[in-house]
Structure 1
Amino acid sequence: MTTYLIQNARVLGGEPTDLLLRDGVVAAVGRGLTAEDAEVVDAGGLVALPGLVDLHTHLREPGREDAETVESGTRAAALGGFTAVHAMANTDPVADTAGVVEQVWRLGHEAGHCDVFPVGAVTVGLAGQRLAELGAMADSAARVRVFSDDGHCVSDPLLMRRALEYVKAFDGVIAQHAQEPRLTEGAQMNESELSGKLGLAGWPAVAEEAVIARDCLLAAHVGSRLHVCHVSTAGSVEIVRQAKEQGWAVTAEVTPHHLLLTDQLAATYDPIYKVNPPLRSAEDTAALRAGLAEGVIDVVATDHAPHPFEDKDCEWAAAAFGMLGLETALSIVQETMVDTGLLDWAGVAERMSFAPARIGRLTGHGRPLDVGEPANLVLYDPSVRRVVDAAELASLSRNTPYAGMELPGRVVATFLRGRATVLDGKAC
């Protein structure tokens, strides 16, 4: 394994220091380090962060390899600064058995760009009828600790209660896609005056908020852990805040696109902006930023959702929900949170590395860049600006809403246990 001497990196945005990476760990930290056997990386002006951890990634394999594979998706993740991703269960076949989650886990290991931690389905086939093999997935080689029917809400309160009770045995967490199905039948965009003008069926905020409120109460009742996926409304932030104030074991995530984009983009009728939950109002976006800054929202998660060209190049109503997110996440967090003064780089590390690793119960990720810790880190240049070119993305899909947009920052290097997966901005 190559030994790397990273010189003059600003760890968590602090004063420049050197990092020696050897045998998969951080071997030394300090000024003026030397190592004759090391490959030197000049990190002057770069911020060093612990490797990012994504709690919410769609890798599509098995079943939709035309949209993404584990190999292509994890390459995109590494280019975005991630050393670990949680792969959602809505594959074909669904990741609702030990066999499927182990397949995804092994594909990630073989690809080698970043670690892949499969998310197990809560219910068989995501159908919401009966619990999947939660215990078998937890005991498998993949060691699943996060379970979600993402893309579908576990709308049955009794089933949700049973799932929360079940995962307590192995300290698991249920990650809920909060969407009351009866309130969102045929919904296409955020319910507002604009949805009426555009003739697109509205998606009310209460459809999300009602499920979050119910599940917070259920989690408190059974003493289990609940994680709320892709919070998108100001009301949802307040419900999560109240749950946390009660001391309940509730965590929440927000996506980069809900921090930056608003429902006004639907006026273009361009399906690139069609996503679940939908883009919300500017007031919601402001509340999400404030909630993330305060820590009411624990995590930024990408909800990276690749789709082939034909699933997006069609009329709005027929188009698939979802956007790419892995390669642009850190830039959007800089744009919306760091450059606005809402977070410093230590805060970014907490919300994009430490907190998601804690929620996912990961042991080798989300660790400080201290001596003896796994050498999982990203070097990031916040001083540059770049125009997003969809054709240059590593994903097999091209459904990014940021194409042609100028964003700040660039991932220069990513290291997974001391091995470079990205150098000079290019995948290794």
Structure 2
Amino acid sequence: MSLLLKNGLGLLEGKLSPMSLLLQDGRIQGINLPIETADQVIDLHHAFVSSGLVDLHVHLREPGFTNKETILTGSKAAAHGGFTTIGAMANLNPAPDTPTRFLKQQQLNREAVVKIKQYAPVTQKRAGKLPVDFTALRQAGAFAFSDDGSGIADARVMYQAMQKLAKLGLPLCDHAQDMTLTAGGVLNAGPAAKKYAVPGVDKVSETSQIARNLVLAAATGVHYHVCHVSTKESIDLIRFAKSQGVHVTCEVTPHHLLLDETMIVGEATQYKMNPPLRSVQDRLACVAGLLDGTIDLIATDHAPHTAAEKKQSLSTAPNGIVGSETAFALLYTTFVKPGVWSLTQLIKWMSTAPQTLFQLNHVGQLHRGDPADIAVFDLKTATKIQASDFLSKGHNSPFIGQTVYGATVMTLVDGKLVYRRD
């Protein structure tokens, strides 16, 4: 079956230009061909056509925490945000830390409407004590390894894991946090923690772990990827390590680009995440780090929780916000529309870079013969972010009520419509 997406706008040599796509059997058959008919024709009315977005940091919560999210609802939320491929973290119950458990997880992931790349843990039960069988888990389908949600305290365990993953050529994605330095911390150690009278989280809990692991990465040659970087000092360390030839990459979340501790208002638990929102200077350093190439990509760290959990006290409510459904529109509105970034840069950080750096060869780009993984966005119409529009089970977002541009019109995975705006 053929599908013609006509009258769209695509990025050609950095400029928005007319674009039509002919899709056939799940792949891009042609671009701007002189045809007007196909088995199905969709007029895009000059909406922006992009390669599908790629989010390397998502928490789908199944199995173990399906009151928060399921693979189906989380993948629908991703599709709603224009994502066609997502990296699912391994902080599940049970964690997919053996080949048998990993293969069971792969079976569950078939419920998704988008493509899922599954992480395996670095250590058994994500306990930070004993490394997993990396070779067996790679053979089972793991594309990368992470104990995300917990830092690995034991340097020997981290060193051994890096040595083995370097030989396999697979990334180690690090939740860079010294847990002994954050025990009991709620918000960044700064004015917001004082205002709300809660213990602070000192940024050295992140930077000290990154510093140690950069040394180990240099010694092993592993691809060391830092998750959700949040401080100026962390970015400075990574920038220096890159200049010395260390194979390090890193990501930043939309919320660390858009928010800082001075913006925490109202229901403060909606602003509670790990790592916490930092200072104004840290937020600006994150933006600068993207622009100078120190930070390689943007990942949402989509972390759904129930409304009841987020209504607890600031000290007891869980960390995390949802991000799959709002990331592109928020970043487009805040940075691209006023000219801080180009649209080309945003698509690079949210699509091209994760594909390239993590060698996701199955993921589509807008080239003839590629899988038809496509997102279409309305850049002209203002919309309001509303919880009632979310497809995620989680509505824990501080951005609800904001007016944005760049809402998703439709998302296709292998040429199949998996989301279409009413």
TM-score class, shorter-chain normalisation, is over 0.9
Q: Does 1:179 align with 2:180?
A: no
What is the distance in 2 between the residues matched to 1:299 and 1:330?
A: 13
What is the alpha-carbon distance in structure 2 between the residues aligned to residue 287 and residue 273 of structure 1?
19
Distance 1:402 1:304, change over 3 A: same
1:389 to 386, 393, 400: 386
**Structure 1 residues 43 and 198, CA gap change in structure 2 (3 angstroms):** same
CA distance in 1, matches of 2:291, 2:404: 20
Identity percentage of aligned residues: 36
Amino acid at match of 1:184: T
Checking the alignment, whether the CA contact within 8 Å between 2:119 and 2:144 is kept in structure 1 is yes
Aligned to 1:4: 4
Displacement after TM superposition at 1:267 (Å): 5.1
Flag structure 1 segments of 5+ consecutive residues without an equivalent: none
Q: Is the 8 A contact 2:4 2:20 kept in 1?
A: no
What secondary structure, in the 3-state scheme, does the structure 2 residue paired with 1:384 have?
Answer: coil
The Cα offsets for residues 40-96 of structure 1, whole Å up to 9 and x where unpaired, read as 222233222111111100000001111100000000101100111111000111121
| Paired position in structure 2 for 1:229 | 227
Cα deviation, residue 2, structure 1: 4.7
- Indicate the residue corresponding to 1:134 in structure 2: 134
- Structure-1 residue corresponding to 2:336: 338
1:13-35: CA deviations, max 9, x gaps?
521121111111111112x6315
Report matched runs for 1:21-420 at 5 Å.
Answer: 21-30=23-32, 33-111=34-112, 113-140=113-140, 143-266=141-264, 268=266, 270-365=268-363, 367-420=364-417
TM-aligned CA deviation for residue 357 of structure 1: 1.8
Unaligned runs of 5+ in 2: none
State the 1:269 CA deviation. 5.4
1:177-229 CA distances to partner (integer Å, 9 max, x unpaired)? 11111211101001113423432111111111111111111111111110000
Q: Find the residue that maps to 1:103 and give its secondary structure.
A: helix
Amino acid at match of 2:21: L
Structure 1 residue corresponding to 2:21, chosen from 2, 14, 19:
19
Distance in 2 (CA, whole Å) between partners of 1:106 and 1:210 is 38
Give SS of 1:318's match: coil
**Contact 1:4–1:418 (CA<8 Å) still a contact in 2?**
no
SS of equivalent to 2:405: strand
TM-score (norm 2): 0.95
Q: Is the 8 A contact 2:49 2:376 kept in 1?
A: yes
Residues 354-374 of structure 1 show CA distances to partners (whole Å, capped at 9, x for unaligned) of 211233331111x43111111
Distance 1:8 1:80 in 2: 18
Secondary structure class of the residue paired with 1:167: helix
Q: Distance in 1 between matches of 2:384 and 2:101?
A: 38
Q: Measure, in 2, the Cα distance between the counterparts of 1:17 and 1:387.
A: 27
For the residues of structure 1 that align with 2:365 and 2:305, how far apart are their CA atoms?
35
Change beyond 3 A, Cα 1:71–1:22: same
Aligned-partner residue type, residue 270 of structure 1: A
Alpha-carbon distance in structure 1 between the residues aligned to 2:115 and 2:100: 18
Counterpart Cα distance in 2 of 1:51 and 1:153? 31
Once structures 1 and 2 are overlaid, which stretch shifts more, 295-304 or 397-406?
Answer: 397-406
Once the two structures are superposed, what CA deviation does each residue of 1:145-192 show, in whole Å capped at 9, x if it has no partner? 211111100121111111111112321111101111121110100111
Q: Which runs of 4+ in 1 moved over 4 A?
A: none
8 A Cα contact 1:2 1:419, kept in partner: no
- Provide the rounded CA distance (Å) in 1 between the counterparts of 2:193 and 2:387: 28
Contact kept? 1:209, 1:236, Cα under 8 Å? yes
The 8 Å contact of residues 305 and 322 in structure 1, kept in 2 or not, is answered as: yes
Contact 1:26–1:371, Cα closer than 8 Å, also in 2: yes
Once the 2 structures are TM-superposed, how far is the Cα of residue 266 of structure 1 from its aligned partner? Answer: 3.7
**1:65, 1:324 → 2: CA distance?**
15
Query: Separation in 1 of the partners of 2:48 and 2:102?
Result: 34
Following the alignment from structure 2 to structure 1, what is the Cα–Cα distance between the partners of residues 341 and 92? Answer: 35
Q: RMSD over aligned Cα, in angstroms?
A: 1.7
The farther-off stretch of 338-347 and 283-292 is: 338-347
The answer as to whether partners of 1:10 and 1:45 remain within 8 angstroms in 2 is no
Distance 1:314 1:224, change over 3 A: same
Do the aligned partners of 2:8 and 2:20 also contact (CA within 8 Å) in 1?
yes
1:15 counterpart SS class: strand
Between the aligned partners of 2:415 and 2:24, the Cα distance in structure 1 is 6
